[in-house]
């Protein structure tokens, strides 16, 4: 067994934990940013989401 080849294969198979941690932290930051302000959720519940789709054209 070639020790150089086995070492390079182990490096390829290891996940990059720094990128995973940055992605997970950005997800948590986004969730806190959107749902951290209670007034946003209450406005969406009472008035609906601000970007409503277009009304369908009857018999169109």
Q: What is the mean pLDDT of each run of 10 residues along the chain (60 residues)?
A: 54 76 94 78 70 72
Collapse the DSSP code of 46 into the 3-class scheme (helix H, G, I; strand E, B; otherwise coil) and give the result. Answer: helix
Instruction: Give the span between the Cα atoms of 56 and 59, in whole angstroms.
Output: 9
The kind and range of the H/E element at 33 are helix 17-35
Threshold 0.85, pTM exceeds: no
**Predicted pLDDT of residue 37:** 72
Cα–Cα distance measured from residue 44 to residue 28, given in angstroms and rounded to the nearest whole number: 21
């Amino acid at each position: 067994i070639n020790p150089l080849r086995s070492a390079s294969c182990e490096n390829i198979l290891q996940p990059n934990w720094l990128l995973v941690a940055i992605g997970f932290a950005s997800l948590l930051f986004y969730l806190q940013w959107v749902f951290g302000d209670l007034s946003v959720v209450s406005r969406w519940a009472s008035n609906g989401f601000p970007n409503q789709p277009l009304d369908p054209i009857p018999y169109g």
